[in-house]
Amino acid sequence: MKTKNYNILAKNSSWTFGKKVPKKFDQHIKKSVPFYEESHNLICNLSDFFLQDGSIVYDIGSSTGTTLNMIHKRHSNKKLKLIGIEKIPEMIHQAKKNKTHKSIQYLNKDVEKIKLKKSDMIISNFTMQFIRSKKRQDIINKIYESLNWGGAFIMFEKIRGSDARFQDIFTSLYNEFKLSSGFSEKEILNKSRSLKGVMEPFSNYGNESMLVRSGFKDITPVFQWVCFKGYLAIK
């Protein structure tokens, strides 16, 4: 059985961001993730507190480059080095098509295999949930170590409920959102089946604990809609 969401196809337990997905990615995710565009706006607004001339910014799982393009536009008066890390070649290709300035560069690499330079801001916008659970803590540790003192890690994630009742409520409300966005019941079910073993969200407690273990002490939520949450962690 296949799922078709705005021309994106995926089989059971085999969701991928490669192949033809990048061409339809922006259209698809805006319909799939509540307040997705607002998450970009919020990240850009938060960047005002951390970026100066010469700052390095990393976007982990940079997909089509939307976030970095927006940050460059907002801080066009500063000399920034904006680096997108993306392991899907097709996403890199699409991001380079969308690229708005030479200060933006993309690395077609896995974040766990790359050495990060000292930076003032690192972004992970709905990316960690697609990284294998056993590797996630090591990556967060790397992020903490690579930030300059006072630097920020901004992470948006889908989260699991803290118990079965809350999880049922989260799932129900999220399904209602997708129905209101134009997805059919069959599309919603099939998309869920395609993500088995591919996306593994943590609970809010799991995410915050991971940040604390890496060394972050100053952590605050900056956004939440039911099962989608944004965190700001400052070194």
Residue 23 pLDDT class (50, 70, 90 cuts): confident
Could you tell me the residue ranges of all domains in the chain?
A: 22-161+200-234
Cα dihedral sign, 65-234-55-140: negative
Instruction: For residue range 117-149, list pLDDT tens digits in order.
Output: 999 999 999 999 999 999 999 999 999 999 999
pLDDT for res 24: 84
What is the length of the chain?
235
Q: What is the pTM of this model?
A: 0.92
Cβ count within 10 A of residue 208? 17
Whole-angstrom CA distances from 53 to 47, 49, 120, 182 are 13, 13, 11, 43
Instruction: For residue range 30-65, list pLDDT tens digits in order.
Output: 999 999 999 999 999 999 999 999 999 999 999 999
Given a cut of 50, whether residue 2 has pLDDT beyond it is no
Of 22, 13, 9, 141, nearest to 84 by C-alpha is: 22
Third-level CATH fold of 22-161+200-234: Rossmann fold (3.40.50)
Instruction: For residue range 221-231, list pLDDT tens digits in order.
Output: 999 999 999 99
Instruction: Please give the Cα distance from 118 to 211 (Å, whole number).
Output: 18
